[in-house]
Amino acid sequence: MARVFVGMSGGVDSSVTASLLVEQGYDVTGVYMKNWTQDMPGMHCPWAEDVADAKRVAVSLGIDFEVFDFENEYKQQVVDAMVSEYKAGRTPNPDVMCNQEIKFKLFLDTALARGADLIATGHYARVTPDGKLMRAFDENKDQTYFLYRVKSEALKKTLFPLGDMTKQQVRDYATEKNLWTADKKESMGICFVGQVGIREFLEQYITLEPGEIILQETGQVVGRHDSAMLYTIGQRHGLNIGGGLPYYVTGKDIQKNQVYVSQNIDNQSMWRDELTLTDLSWVGASPEPTDDLQVRLRHRGSLLPLSGLSINDEKAQISLKESERAVAAGQSAVIYRGDEVMGGGIIS
C-alpha cells in the first residue's frame, strides 16, 4: 500500500483530495503547511482556523495529521522574492514561486524523507505516469498556469485526484461525505494572506512614495498615484482620474516614480506580439519550434497561438499570431502543446 502525504490547507479541494485517496486504498497522512501566520493591518491571518478545519477533516477520515513549519523558508524564497520584484517595477506571481519552492520541492522532499512514497494536492491539474503535466478537465478551474515550474521528476511523485473533476462535483462529493469544509468559501487574493490587497501587504516592507500620473501623449500631469510599484501595464482601475474616457496604464518609470497613462485603447505601449522570456523552466524537454504551441500569459487567460519560438540556454523569444494587450513584465508566460504543459518563463 503506497503511503501518500496530502497537503491539506483547510479548504474543500484538499479535503476531497484526502478523502478520495482514502477511498482508493492509499495509506494517507494529512499535512498542513504552515507557510504564513502574520496578521496584516485590518486583516486577520486565518492560519489557525485553517489548521483546525484540516484536522477535523483528517479525524473524520481516520488518517494521521501533521503540521510542517515552512514559515522561514517561505519568507525567504517566496515573500522576499516577490517584494524584490515589485521594487524592480515588475509584477510577479507568488503562487508560481510557492509551487516551485515550497509545495513541490520542500514539501515533497520532507514528505519523502518522512517515509512517503507520494504526495498529493488539491490542484486542478492532471499528471501522467511518466511525469507530464496536463491541463485539468475543468478548464475554468485549471491551475496548470501556476504549476509550470514543477519538474517532471517531482510530478512522477505527485497525485492530483481532482484533475478529472469539476468544481461542482468536488462540492457535491464533499456534501455527500459530510466533510467539515463542504461549504467553506474559496480563499482569494494573495496566496498566503487571503483577502488582503497587494498595497496593504507591500506597505509592510516598502515605503510607498506618491508621484505623478502623466498622460503619455502630451506629458500633462493628470493625477497622483500612491507608488509606481503598485501599477501594471494595461491597468484601468485604481487610477482615480475622473471624467471622460477611462485611462489605461501604458508605462512606468520606477526611478522617477512616474506612471504613464493613455485614453487610447489602441496605444501601442499596451500591445505586444513579440515577447522575451527569461528564467526559463521546462517540465521535461523543451518544446520544439516546429510544434503546434500556444501560450497563456495570465491565469484564466486565453490560450494564444504562437507563430514563432526560439530558445537558447537562458532566454526564449516567442511571437504571437496576434498582438495581446496588457502584457506585464514579471508575469509568467506558460507554453502548452495541446493539453500538455511544456513550461515557460518570466516576461521581460
- Active-site entry in 191, 193, 306, 335: 191
Torsional class of 180: left (φ above 0), alpha (ψ -120 to 50), beta (otherwise)? alpha
Strands (E) located in 35-147 = 64-69, 118-120, 126-127, 133-134
CB 342 within 8 A of CB 333: no
CB 273 within 8 A of CB 320: yes
CB 70 within 8 A of CB 33: yes
Strands (E) located in the chain = 3-7, 27-34, 64-69, 118-120, 126-127, 133-134, 158-159, 211-215, 221-225, 248-253, 258-262, 271-282, 294-296, 304-311, 315-325, 332-337, 340-347
Q: Cell numbers for 11, please give them.
A: 479548504
CB 21 within 8 A of CB 36: no
Decide if 45 is catalytic: no
- Active-site entry in 18, 58, 98, 233: 98
Decide if 191 is catalytic: yes
CA neighbor of 252 nearest in space, from 230, 273, 267, 271 = 230
Phi, psi at 294, each rounded to 5°: -130, 165
> What burial letters (b/e) apply to 192-218, b meaning 16+ CB within 10 Å?
bbbebebeebbbeeeeeeebbbbbbee
Q: Cell numbers for 174, please give them.
A: 464533499
The neighbouring-strand residues paired with 223 are 213
- Rg from Cα positions in the chain: 21
CB 251 within 8 A of CB 233: yes
How is the beta sheet containing 258-262 ordered, strand by strand? 221-225, 211-215, 258-262, 248-253
Catalytic positions, written as ranges: 98, 191
